[in-house]
Amino acid sequence: MNLLGRIRALEVLRRAGGDRVAVYSLENHAGTPVYVHAKVCVIDDVWASVGSDNVNRRSWTHDSELSCAVVDETRDSREPMDPGGLGDGARVFARELRLSLNLEHLDRDGDGEAAALCDPGRAFAAYADSAAALDAWHDGGRHGPRPSGRLRTYHPPHLSRITRALTDPLYRVVADPDGRPRSLRRQGAY
């Protein structure tokens, strides 16, 4: 049932964001998938959240989770200075966090590499290019040098119509992915 919830969430994101949504999984340099429980969210290089909680009521009320949200007062002077276009201006902590993760996931280092990734559009393209190269290397039998990067394109598993038809009612009635009281679930409210 959790798999169905993940598939549904990704479908909603893709419908809303179209080609602006990309999902990747991580692997180490030996090609072994890496499970990371931590969650990081950086919005417009202004706001950052780091922790273990999921974005749902259950995680925020019932589960043992810990997270921290940060809005740094120090503005980042690098371009783009206001990536969200809302007048907030990029902040040092959020941008440095995003760039350090970009460099790690892309197997890059140095200030020149970080400067190139300051632009969110270029960083998005770099992720796509890196994942495509690593996916092609795996699909080609892992011949030749392994491309840099740790990102693989995430493809949700296909569930047959029968599996979905059997699982969907259970998911809606029995599963409690977000900790809502039964009355709110029946109303479809939060």
Rounded to an integer, what distance in angstroms lies between the CA atom of residue 136 and that of residue 152? Answer: 10
Residue with tokens 């049932």: 1
Task: Give the DSSP letter of residue 25.
Answer: E
Residue 41's pLDDT band (boundaries 50, 70, 90)?
Answer: very high
Look at residue 173 and tell me whether its pLDDT is greater than 80. no
State the amino acid at position 23 in one-letter form.
V
Choose the weakest-confidence range: 69-83, 118-132, 166-180: 166-180
Look at residue 83 and tell me whether its pLDDT is greater than 70. yes
Q: What is the pLDDT of residue 179?
A: 67
Rounded to an integer, what distance in angstroms lies between the CA atom of residue 45 and that of residue 123? Answer: 12
State the amino acid at position 141 in one-letter form.
G
* pTM for this prediction: 0.85
Q: What is the pLDDT of residue 175?
A: 67
Q: What is the pLDDT of residue 178?
A: 64
Yes or no: say if 42 and 98 are a contact pair by the CB < 8 Å rule: yes
Instruction: Give one DSSP letter per residue of 116-154, joined into a string.
Output: HHSSHHHHHHHHHHHHHHHHHHHHTTS-SSPPS--EEE-
**Residue of 64, 63, 49, 45 whose CA lies nearest to 102:** 45
Q: Residue 69 in 3-state DSSP? A: strand
Q: What is the pLDDT averaged over residues 104-115? A: 90
Look at residue 171 and tell me whether its pLDDT is greater than 90. no
Q: What is the pLDDT of residue 163?
A: 87
State the amino acid at position 134 in one-letter form.
L
